[in-house]
A and B are shown apart, each in its own frame.
Chain A
């Protein structure tokens, strides 16, 4: 692969990494709130993106965006209230399965909506993109659309905002206390249930944001929209044990950049890029986790 292709692919990689990072923020927040591996995150993103596309036909894009965020938050809250909250004491495996199942259900709902609005096999192009297609920004000789740059920028902004929320506000403190020790937190007077609900609503809004920002003029909405990307976000979150935002963001960007850089290589590396970079992250995460596992195992052996 020629050297002058490295930078342009890196730029695209930033977009991918930004998307993974944004999705990862939602995933980590869901885990911190209720211990769930939020695979249904993709489903929420899909439904919100669809809502956005439909609404954007009838009203200004900005308004549609706000409404879509609201729909994402509402969907997520409903999921928490009706499903996730009831299984808070369940094993991790049960939670994972339920999360997966919910995601599948959401995708099916999205699928039906797509059919209903005739979007399944591709709707009119240019529907619902936030940014005008023609705007291109050039950095160091490579150009990208505004939309492609919006994702990493949004991801970093969201990351900063979340860190601030978690560590510098009372709401964040309440959330962290509730997730560490829900009983003691509520004994202390922290409204655990309300705090957790707020966290889930935020997760939904983040999913919607990711969905909306990725909707572009050239992509078609399908039921499994953003599923593959959410899986990568999960892999990135794994490096931080689903708790550490900073590590997730770094892993997400590394993953995105690595994937895109491999595009420039000849096959078979080219074809394996998705799996290869994924495997890399997984190995790193597992290796780091196994040491953590050993330490906790030894501590647990004391009687």
Chain B
């Protein structure tokens, strides 16, 4: 269930701060554990475990945008999974915990699959039902979960028997998890997730497999929750369904607390877990109904977050910090990292593709949007599509890019049958389309927006990203270099570090064009690039598009109402009306054609027009 509300929030940079904090924390911990008491160690270990559990929410909700109330259930799956693996299969402790993580990851993926097809309301009811199912059937089952009142033992490993040493183990896992997550969150996979969250359609058009990205997020989130559960079982020495932490109300509480802490930041889980656990070390924690207090905070707290502070406490702190430091730090940062823009002409452009559409027909209900339309584009050519609203221009582009299915006809891209491929596959084949409203990712800077476009060009996956392997770093550096060159072509370099939602509309459209170019396309489908632009900006597009065509050699299909733009830029124009091709030829020929003038301005009498289907 994707929440567009989360699309408005931003990411914060954390790597250096976190790294330093982690090292410091570990050092202190080592020094302290030699003399620490058992109760404090126990609670601190609990803190580490819950921080990890809430981290899973940061992945699935903060990054992927899927609301999950099932965290507690996954916690239980992990706990029981680890206990069963250790007890029934005699697995060593850490291996058992790892198995628990994998089992939970698989569960999370299975449960999450329906989210891709169901409306949010149905999905939520389904998840509530899933919890009921798991509580009544799985957690009471004898084989894996002790059959109700009996607890399944989960003995600690020999090297972590005492509470302080177990704490060290948990802390080590915690730091590893957080470090790994911090690394991949900012890399290729992390960007793809946020892009899928903010604007799935644009992400698809850029070649990101949104479904796969979300499933990966489910798997990671489940894995983290499962590990946390396994460690929890070890902490308690065993787990039973009476533990009271695995029910739906706890799941809601976990969600609420993490939202309050800040679900888009790695500091959020720390804050939330700190509140939940560390508070218990204080006098307030002595109160016997502390559990209820958690609900009071989680419930209204979540409401508060939605009404006022989407990024929770972490976001509030971050905003305050930004205001104190001002813009000066950001510009300083920009100057130090801005290298000389690479020469666009020297970049290796793949050249234009040959496009052939024959007999494209498109019918919805009783309406024929396209009627046996032919379109041919030579490599490097610019072909303009001209016509009124309802002529079918956008529909034709939709058919080529794959958003809409054709009822008849074929589309060949350099002899490849395009219609067999899904939209994101066509993007990877070199078809790049723009949307009528600049479809970008508001959370990202211009540079990051363009890096998202490089997603299919890079290959490294989650592990490489998270571990910071050389392959990942090389690919990122190469992508960055190419993106700088592209920004140079469209004169966007000054805006590289500006956030997308701070830009003017005209600049946004330039960013969109740059994103398309960053994919080294062979065919550009430009759907009304001048729409919504002021006069001056629209006129500036003419030399820009000509420059793009010249420098990159890409084939372009240009859909536009702006007659001046189309005639200035196109080599050929196709005039359409009511789903059919009216005329075809050079701009001068087409614009002088009387049929075109009549149709374009709607001068013909609708009653005397041919009654061939409804005209739209």
Q: Check whether chain A touches chain B (CB < 8 angstroms).
A: yes
Binding site for B on A (CB under 8 A): 37, 83, 86-87, 90-94, 96-98, 100-109, 111-112, 115, 223-224, 227-228, 231, 234-235, 238, 242, 268, 271-272, 274-275, 278-279, 282, 285-286, 289-290, 293, 298-299, 301-303
**Could you name 21 residue pairs across A and B whose Cβ atoms are closer than 8 Å?**
A37-B121, A90-B5, A94-B306, A101-B299, A102-B303, A103-B299, A104-B299, A105-B296, A105-B299, A108-B292, A224-B249, A228-B132, A238-B122, A238-B125, A272-B137, A275-B129, A278-B133, A285-B125, A286-B114, A286-B122, A298-B365
In the complex formed, the residue of B with least CB distance to A108 is B295
Pairwise interchain contact B122-A285, C-beta atoms closer than 8 A: yes
Which 7 residue pairs of A and B lie closest in terms of their CB atoms, listed nearest first? A105-B299, A101-B302, A108-B295, A104-B299, A93-B3, A275-B133, A108-B296
Give per-residue flags for B1-23: 1 if the beta carbon is below 8 A from chain A beta carbons, else 0.
11111000000000000000000
Q: Which residues of A contact B121 (CB under 8 A)?
A: 37, 92, 96, 238, 242
User: Taking the complex as formed, is B333 at the interface, i.e. its CB lies under 8 A from any CB of chain A?
Assistant: no
Pairwise interchain contact B300-A231, C-beta atoms closer than 8 A: no
Q: Which of B3, B114, B303 has the most CB of A within 10 A?
A: B303
User: Taking the complex as formed, is B395 at the interface, i.e. its CB lies under 8 A from any CB of chain A?
Assistant: yes
Q: Which residues of B contact A91 (CB under 8 A)?
A: 3-5, 120
User: In the complex, which range does the number of interface residues on chain B fall in?
Assistant: 35 or more
Pairwise interchain contact B117-A290, C-beta atoms closer than 8 A: yes
Assuming A91-B3, A93-B1, is B125 touching A104 (CB within 8 A)?
no
Assuming A112-B292, A271-B137, A303-B394, is B3 touching A106 (CB within 8 A)?
no
A104 → chain B, closest Cβ, in Å? 4
User: Taking the complex as formed, is B602 at the interface, i.e. its CB lies under 8 A from any CB of chain A?
Assistant: no
Q: Which residues of A contact B119 (CB under 8 A)?
A: 92, 289, 293
From A83, A231, A272, contact of B129 by CB (8 A) = A231
A129 → chain B, closest Cβ, in Å? 27
Assuming A90-B5, A285-B122, is B303 touching A83 (CB within 8 A)?
yes
Pairwise interchain contact A223-B292, C-beta atoms closer than 8 A: yes
Pairwise interchain contact A301-B403, C-beta atoms closer than 8 A: yes
User: Taking the complex as formed, is B411 at the interface, i.e. its CB lies under 8 A from any CB of chain A?
Assistant: no
In the complex formed, the residue of B with least CB distance to A87 is B306
In B216-273, which residues have CB < 8 Å from any A CB?
A: 248-249, 252-253, 255-256, 259
Q: Which residues of A contact B256 (CB under 8 A)?
A: 101, 104
Per the bound structure, the CA–CA distance linking A177 and B365 in Å amounts to: 28
Binding site for A on B (CB under 8 A): 1-5, 67, 69, 114, 117-122, 124-126, 128-129, 132-133, 136-137, 140, 248-249, 252-253, 255-256, 259, 289, 292-293, 295-296, 298-303, 306-307, 364-365, 367, 369, 394-395, 398, 403-405
Assuming A90-B5, A96-B1, A299-B365, is B133 touching A104 (CB within 8 A)?
no
A221 → chain B, closest Cβ, in Å? 14
From B128, B295, B296, B365, contact of A234 by CB (8 A) = B128
Pairwise interchain contact A275-B132, C-beta atoms closer than 8 A: yes
Task: Other than A234-B125, A275-B133, give 5 A-B pairs with Cβ distance below 8 A.
Answer: A37-B125, A91-B5, A97-B67, A111-B292, A242-B121
Assuming A96-B1, A96-B121, A271-B137, is B369 touching A302 (CB within 8 A)?
yes
A273 → chain B, closest Cβ, in Å? 8
B76 → chain A, closest Cβ, in Å? 15
Per the bound structure, the CA–CA distance linking A131 and B136 in Å amounts to: 32
Q: Tally A-B pairs: CB < 8 A.
A: 158
In the complex formed, the residue of B with least CB distance to A272 is B137
- Interface class of chain A by DSSP: helix
Q: Which residues of A contact B1 (CB under 8 A)?
A: 92-93, 96
Q: Which residues of A contact B259 (CB under 8 A)?
A: 97
In the complex formed, the residue of B with least CB distance to A281 is B129
Pairwise interchain contact B303-A235, C-beta atoms closer than 8 A: no
Assuming A234-B125, A271-B137, A302-B364, is B67 touching A93 (CB within 8 A)?
yes
In the complex formed, the residue of B with least CB distance to A285 is B122
B179 → chain A, closest Cβ, in Å? 30
Q: Which residues of B contact A298 (CB under 8 A)?
A: 364-365
Q: Which residues of A contact B289 (CB under 8 A)?
A: 111-112, 115
Pairwise interchain contact A278-B132, C-beta atoms closer than 8 A: yes
Q: Which residues of A contact B129 (CB under 8 A)?
A: 231, 235, 275, 278-279, 282
Per the bound structure, the CA–CA distance linking A278 and B253 in Å amounts to: 24
Per the bound structure, the CA–CA distance linking A241 and B256 in Å amounts to: 27
Q: Which residues of A contact B248 (CB under 8 A)?
A: 227
B429 → chain A, closest Cβ, in Å? 22
Pairwise interchain contact B367-A302, C-beta atoms closer than 8 A: yes
Pairwise interchain contact A301-B302, C-beta atoms closer than 8 A: no
Pairwise interchain contact B306-A90, C-beta atoms closer than 8 A: yes
Q: Which residues of A contact B300 (CB under 8 A)?
A: 101-102, 105
- Interface class of chain B by DSSP: helix
Pairwise interchain contact A286-B302, C-beta atoms closer than 8 A: no
Pairwise interchain contact A101-B124, C-beta atoms closer than 8 A: no
Q: Which of A101, A107, A285, A298 has the most CB of B within 10 A?
A: A101
Pairwise interchain contact A231-B132, C-beta atoms closer than 8 A: yes
Pairwise interchain contact A104-B367, C-beta atoms closer than 8 A: no
Pairwise interchain contact A108-B125, C-beta atoms closer than 8 A: no
From B69, B122, B124, B136, contact of A289 by CB (8 A) = B122
A21 → chain B, closest Cβ, in Å? 16
In the complex formed, the residue of A with least CB distance to B403 is A301
Per the bound structure, the CA–CA distance linking A96 and B69 in Å amounts to: 11
From B69, B118, B137, B296, contact of A100 by CB (8 A) = B69
Q: Which residues of A contact B405 (CB under 8 A)?
A: 301
Q: Which residues of B contact A290 (CB under 8 A)?
A: 117-118
Q: Which residues of A contact B299 (CB under 8 A)?
A: 101-108
Per the bound structure, the CA–CA distance linking A101 and B296 in Å amounts to: 9
From B2, B4, B126, B367, contact of A286 by CB (8 A) = B126
From B118, B124, B133, contact of A279 by CB (8 A) = B133
Q: Which residues of A contact B293 (CB under 8 A)?
A: 108
Q: Which residues of A contact B364 (CB under 8 A)?
A: 298-299, 301-302
B67 → chain A, closest Cβ, in Å? 5
From A86, A93, A115, A242, contact of B5 by CB (8 A) = A93
Per the bound structure, the CA–CA distance linking A286 and B122 in Å amounts to: 7
A82 → chain B, closest Cβ, in Å? 9
Per the bound structure, the CA–CA distance linking A87 and B303 in Å amounts to: 10
A18 → chain B, closest Cβ, in Å? 20
Per the bound structure, the CA–CA distance linking A108 and B296 in Å amounts to: 5
Per the bound structure, the CA–CA distance linking A112 and B288 in Å amounts to: 12
A202 → chain B, closest Cβ, in Å? 21
Pairwise interchain contact B120-A92, C-beta atoms closer than 8 A: yes
Per the bound structure, the CA–CA distance linking A158 and B121 in Å amounts to: 25
Per the bound structure, the CA–CA distance linking A97 and B67 in Å amounts to: 8
In the complex formed, the residue of A with least CB distance to B436 is A303
Q: Which residues of A contact B2 (CB under 8 A)?
A: 93
In the complex formed, the residue of B with least CB distance to A230 is B128
Pairwise interchain contact A94-B3, C-beta atoms closer than 8 A: yes
Q: Which residues of B contact A107 (CB under 8 A)?
A: 249, 295, 299
Q: Which residues of A contact B298 (CB under 8 A)?
A: 101, 104
Per the bound structure, the CA–CA distance linking A92 and B1 in Å amounts to: 9
Pairwise interchain contact B295-A104, C-beta atoms closer than 8 A: yes
Assuming A223-B292, A272-B137, A275-B132, is B367 touching A100 (CB within 8 A)?
no
Per the bound structure, the CA–CA distance linking A90 and B299 in Å amounts to: 18
Per the bound structure, the CA–CA distance linking A223 and B299 in Å amounts to: 13
Q: Which residues of B contact A90 (CB under 8 A)?
A: 5, 306
Per the bound structure, the CA–CA distance linking A97 and B66 in Å amounts to: 11
Per the bound structure, the CA–CA distance linking A109 and B296 in Å amounts to: 7
Q: Which residues of B contact A301 (CB under 8 A)?
A: 364, 403-405
Assuming A109-B296, A223-B292, A303-B398, is B252 touching A101 (CB within 8 A)?
yes
